[in-house]
Amino acid sequence: MKKKMSSVPFNGTPEQEAKLDAYIAEHRAEEGCLMPIMQEAQLIYGYLPKEVQIHIAEKLEIPAEEVFGVATFYSMFNLSPKGKYQISVCLGTACYVKGSREVLDKICEILDIQPGECTEDGMFSIEACRCVGACGLAPVMMVNGSDVYGRLKASEVEAIIEKYKEFEREEKEYENMG
Amino acid sequence: MKTWAELQAIKADVNAKVFAASAPGEYRVLIGLATCGIAAGAMPVYDAFKEAAAGNDKCKVGQVGCIGMCQYEPIVEVIEGGKRTTYVKMDAEKAARVYKEHILGGQVVTDYLLVENGITCNSLEDTTFYKLQKRIALRNCGIIDPENIDEYIARDGYAALHKVITEMSSEDIVNVMLDSGLRGRGGAGFPTGRKWSFAAAQQAPQKFVCCNADEGDPGAFMDRSVLEGDPHAVLEAMTIAGKAIGATQGYIYVRAEYPVAVKRLNIAIKQAKEYGLLGDNIMGTDFCFDIGIRLGAGAFVCGEETALMTSIEGKRGEPRPRPPFPAVKGLFQSPTILNNVETYANVAQIILNGAAWFSAMGTEKSKGTKVFALGGKINNTGLVEVPMGTTLRTVVEQIGGGIPNGKKFKAAQTGGPSGGCIPAEHFDVEIDYDNLIAIGSMMGSGGLIVMDEDNCMVDIAKFFLDFTVDESCGKCTPCRIGTRRLYELLEKITGGEGEMADIDELQALAAHIKDNSLCGLGQTAPNPVLSTLRYFRHEYEAHIVDKKCPSHVCRSLLTFTIDPEKCVGCTKCARNCPANAISGTVKEPHVIDHDKCVQCSVCMQNCAFGAISKD
């Protein structure tokens, strides 16, 4: 899978860095600690910006290309930030034979982005994911890994996306009021 | 730490208080809280029962792992006396009614029972789905609370560990595994006992026991269910393996996509350590064995053993040539054994019941049972465990309940992207390692995806190749470039540009990739192409010669036409066509211009009169 390095400016906080450094200090002596550290870093920052990868390399005294190599090898490491609402459509075999490709195509069409991309307003990102193991509910899509929509039809996705846009509008109105 | 006598006391206590037939009027309510249950909405059901039963000491509410019938989640079992009642497709409202009418009123709520083939079943045990199964690896799934070690102990948990520590030598353990005939459940089917004996024979200061829980085959979820429903079974088996080969450290490499499994494994490890069943001085002896968890990060190739170990080392998970085999030089250059979750789930039972008990099940060369994840076009999606040698027909038609909507069975895919399809002509094949290889598929980890007449086999082959192209690690050329060329050829054929020579090229390229790839991923990547070519060559030819997709899946090959008899001229199709390919006047039949049509099928979806067809 080809990955794009983000062009969004890095805006990590000192608190985030302190949290990561504490984790590195605790685990650096363990054999094979690089991946767990990168997984933790992604939890802290939401993705793995170039600056964070270099920081990890310096702390562990290994070449930055080694960190970058691991980051690009595994699909779960994100080099760009994700949308506020991360949509993932399962393209596992069970979902595929039940039509999840049509669901994915429909979402791409509605949001006008491709899998792996994020909408310009930073609201929605979409990805085609591997089997989530809920094959009995195929085809399945998830939003932010927790809202699960099963036995989906392509015709139903517009209403689902609209629901999140509605959340957003309500939140904005609420903010404007306050 | 608990002594053996204390563990026996826990066992007796839990059996008497939890598992024994309760007095009439005393209820246990169990809710299936594996990932699939939670995804289907089991948490609100659990909360509803918890809330309703608060303060009622005659009703205990508990959680269990996967009950096995994904289709019917959320599932709730109510146990009273020796009687089990299974409620399916539950929600919080239904839970309140069950509590009121069944728990308080003593009346089974028949509206929520499972209906199989028109017959209402009081409990899961009454279903054909359940009756034809033999549960060994899944014996505790759906029965015990996976977050409670006492319930595992009550079901003979850690008795096998006690037996190997007190009565058996390393050689004894290896011999039992050899005699049992257990073969690796991860796919390749290598005899587990042989693997263990190689590692046991090595002299080394440090050895490792690894568990492959990186279930990467899309459509397979048996390992997840075992980890979520019975995590101690894996811990106990790994500890036994540690004793057998002389290792003191184990690693479970589990997918990060399985958060529930990771959580329950962590709880189980903590509990086992508190009881002195894991860690230093296990059961008061000088045997020490610890287990760590390593999270995968989404790379299919890490299911390959050398790649998995490289990944645990914190590097890019690329495979390396064998030999040296991991049993000689594996993780951190030390002798290592790696088994899959389901393999481990059989180990304690084999130690307790003996090799002869296990080898009495199954076929001549494939012993025991196999768990399959049934999915795709089948009525009962779910997890089933059947003796080796059960026919595909029994699994699909009887246990799986057949194909929905009266459609016809076309093929079943086993072995995922590394396997092949089994067509209707082999519907009566007895499923075991060797029979599946003989017909061009493989056992794989146990994903079994059923396809009906609406699935195009060329499209399915393309789907799997898309997967392998994406997941090829790029280290060796035959796999990196070869799979991409295979994919391009399939794209050409499904796009209507294929020539007959492409079939020969597919075959030649596939053979080359099989022979020359470094690891199992590349060596098996062409299988979906080869097996669909073997059994569904006519579908390839239809795409190439007639420029038709017989299953109406491949878009570029579809022709949409409007039936002038049915068309009333409502103009809806013309207004909605994104390509302006439809013309006609109001109240007159419309016509599609095939040169402009982009085969998006919007017109067909919009037509209220069924006037538009595709071919």
10-residue stretch averages of pLDDT, chain B, 615 residues long: 95 91 87 88 95 93 90 93 92 96 95 92 92 96 96 97 97 98 92 97 97 89 94 98 98 92 97 97 96 93 95 95 95 97 98 98 96 93 95 96 95 94 97 95 92 95 93 95 97 96 97 96 96 97 96 92 94 87 93 88 87 92
Distance from CA of B21 to the nearest CA of A (A): 32
Residues of A in contact with B311 (CB under 8 A): 35
Which residue among B36, B314, B315 places its CB closest to the CB of A133?
Answer: B36
Q: How far apart are CA B544 and CA B526, in angstroms?
A: 20
Give the closest-approach CA distance of B12 to chain A in angstroms: 36
Assigned CATH class of B558-614 = alpha beta
CATH code for position A56:
1.10.10
| Contact: B71, A136; criterion CB under 8 Å | yes
Q: Which helix (H) or strand (E) holds B196?
A: helix B192-201
Mark yes or no for CB contact A70/B316 under 8 Å: yes
Cα–chain-centroid distance for residue B557?
A: 34
Give B425's contacts (C-beta < 8 A, 6+ positions apart). Answer: B535
Contacts of B459 in chain A (CB under 8 A): none
Pair A43, A109 in one domain:
no
Inter-chain residue contact B470 with A1, CB threshold 8 Å: yes
Judge whether residue A118 has pLDDT over 90. Answer: no
Tally A–B CB contacts below 8 A.
130
Amino acid found at B479: C
Specify whether the CB–CB gap between A45 and A53 falls below 8 A: no
Distance in angstroms between the alpha carbons of the first and the last residue of chain A:
44
Backbone angles phi, psi at B279, to 5 degrees: 100, -145
Kindly provide the residue ranges of all beta strands, DSSP E only, lying in B69-168, ordered along the sequence. Answer: 76-80, 83-87, 114-116, 119-121
Q: Using CB atoms, pick whichever of B39, B219, B224 lies closest to residue A92.
A: B219
Residue A135 with chain B: CB contacts under 8 Å: 36, 70, 219, 221, 373, 375, 381
**What integer pLDDT is reported at residue B23 of this predicted model?**
81
Picking from A69, A129, A135, the nearest residue to B316 by CB comes out as A69
Residue A15, exposed/middle/buried by CB under 10 A (0-12, 13-18, 19+)?
Answer: exposed
Label residue A138 by pLDDT band (50, 70, 90). confident
The DSSP 8-state label assigned to residue B334 in this structure reads S
Q: Is residue A94 in some structural domain?
A: yes
Helices marked H in B424-580: 433-438, 457-471, 477-494, 500-516, 520-524, 527-541, 572-576
CA distance B229 to B73: 15
**Residue A2 clears pLDDT 60, i.e. is over it:** no
Residue bearing the bigger pLDDT, A12 or B579: A12
Query: Which residue segment(s) compose the domain that A142 sits in?
Result: 85-177
> What are the contacts of B193-196 at 24+ separation with CB within 8 A?
B195/B327, B195/B337, B195/B339, B196/B241, B196/B244, B196/B245, B196/B337
Domain membership of residue A68 (yes or no) is: yes
| pLDDT higher than 60, residue A164 | yes
- The answer as to whether A7 is a domain residue is no
Distances from the Cα of B242 to the Cα of A116, B44, B251, B335, B548, angstroms: 42, 41, 11, 12, 57
What are the DSSP calls for B240-295, one per residue?
HHHHHHT--EEEEEE-TT-HHHHHHHHHHHHHHHHTTSSBSSGGGSS--BEEEEEE
Q: Does A57 touch chain B (CB under 8 A)?
A: no
Q: Rounded to whole angstroms, how far apart are CA atoms A137 and A149?
A: 8
Which among B71, B316, B460 is the nearest to A73, CB-wise?
B316
Q: Find the CB nearest B297 among A39, A148, A155.
A: A39
Q: What's the DSSP call for residue B412?
A: E
Q: B17-126 is classed in which CATH architecture?
A: 3-Layer(aba) Sandwich (3.40)
Judged on CB neighbours under 10 Å (0-12, 13-18, 19+), B515 is exposed
Asked if residues B399 and B384 have their Cβ atoms less than 8 Å apart, the reply is yes
A69 & A124 share domain: no
Residues B490 and B496: their CA atoms lie apart, in Å, by: 10
Last residue of a domain, one of A52, A73, A94: A73
A108/A159 same-domain check? yes
In the predicted structure, residue A7 carries a pLDDT above the cut 70 = no
Query: What tokens does B133 get?
Result: 């199964």
In chain B, what is the straight-line distance between the N-terminal and C-terminal CA atoms, in Å? 70
- For chain B, the domains span 17-126, 149-359, 369-452, 457-546, 558-614
Is residue B63 classed as helix, strand or coil in its secondary structure?
strand
Average pLDDT over residues A133-143: 81
The pLDDT score that the predictor gives to residue B471 is: 92
| Fold designation for B369-452 | Ubiquitin-like (UB roll) (3.10.20)
Q: A28 lies in a domain?
A: yes
Q: Which residue in B215, B298, B473 is closest to A76 by CB distance?
A: B298
Chain B contact for A15 (CB, 8 A cutoff): no
Please tell me the CATH code under which domain B457-546 is placed. 1.20.1440.230
Query: Tokens at residue B461, please?
Result: 């082959």
Residues of B in Cβ contact (< 8 Å) with A91 = 218
Same domain, A98 and A166: yes
Phi, psi of B132 (to 5 degrees): -85, 0
Looking at beta carbons, which residues of chain B come within 8 Å of A131? 217-221
- Flag if A130 and B373 touch (Cβ within 8 Å): no
Are B443 and B189 in contact by the 8 Å Cβ rule? The answer is yes
How do B447-452 and B409-414 pair as beta strands?
antiparallel
According to CATH, what is the number of the domain B149-359?
A: 3.40.50.11540
Nearest Cβ partner for A94 among B35, B295, B376:
B376
State the nearest Cα–Cα gap between A163 and chain B, in angstroms: 19
| Cα A97–Cα A99–Cα A100 angle in degrees, nearest 5 | 105
Q: Do A98 and B376 touch (CB under 8 A)?
A: yes
Question: What is the DSSP secondary structure assignment for residue B139, as one 8-state letter?
Answer: T
Cβ contact B36–A134 (<8 Å): yes
What's the Rg (C-alpha) of chain A? 19
Question: How far away is chain A from the Cα of B99, in angstroms, using its nearest Cα?
Answer: 27
**CA of B318: which chain A residue's CA is closest?**
A73
Same domain, A67 and A89: no
Reduce the DSSP state of residue B160 to 3 states and report it: helix
In a domain, A89, yes or no: yes
**What tokens appear for A119 in the block?**
């909408």
Q: Is the pLDDT of residue A1 over 50?
A: no
b/e per residue B9-20 (b: at least 16 CB within 10 A): ebbeebeeebbe
